[in-house]
Amino acid sequence: MLSSTPQSAWAMTPFLVGTLALSVIVTTLFNHSRGSILLPAFFHLQLINPLWPDAQPYDTWLFVVVAAVVVWRNRETMFSRHNALTEVFSK
């Protein structure tokens, strides 16, 4: 929460909830791309420009809904290490 960004005027709760929702989405993108950072990087580049130019917290709730759908659709593998990428560098 940098002082010069539009998000600096937000309360801590929407910022924290949005960050957690985005981390769920990015982790799933990373795991489904088999460890490629390219897809999560493109997603992050899209997030730099908020859905609404004034960067209000109400666009965070869209990401919360998307994260909930991601968890629901991947509920068998989300909490297991079976299909997860557990090594960053291959040997």
Q: Rounded to whole angstroms, how far apart are CA atoms 71 and 78?
A: 7
Identify whether the C-beta of residue 78 lies closer than 8 Å to the C-beta of residue 71. Answer: yes
Query: Is 83 domain-assigned?
Result: no
pLDDT confidence bin for 2, thresholds 50/70/90: low
pLDDT confidence bin for 6, thresholds 50/70/90: low
Query: Is 26 domain-assigned?
Result: yes
Residue among 90, 87, 70 at smallest CA distance from 79: 70
Query: Is 33 domain-assigned?
Result: yes
Query: Is 57 domain-assigned?
Result: yes
Domain of residue 21: give its range. 9-78
Tell me which H or E stretch contains 40.
helix 38-48
| pLDDT > 60? residue 1 | no
Query: Is 89 domain-assigned?
Result: no
The model's pLDDT over 34-90, given as tens digits with 9 standing for 90+, comes to 878 888 888 888 877 666 666 667 778 888 898 999 889 887 777 777 766 667 666
Query: Is 13 domain-assigned?
Result: yes
**Structural domain count of the chain:** 1
Query: Is 2 domain-assigned?
Result: no
- CA separation, residue 18 to residues 14, 15, 35, 38, 83 (Å): 6, 5, 23, 22, 25
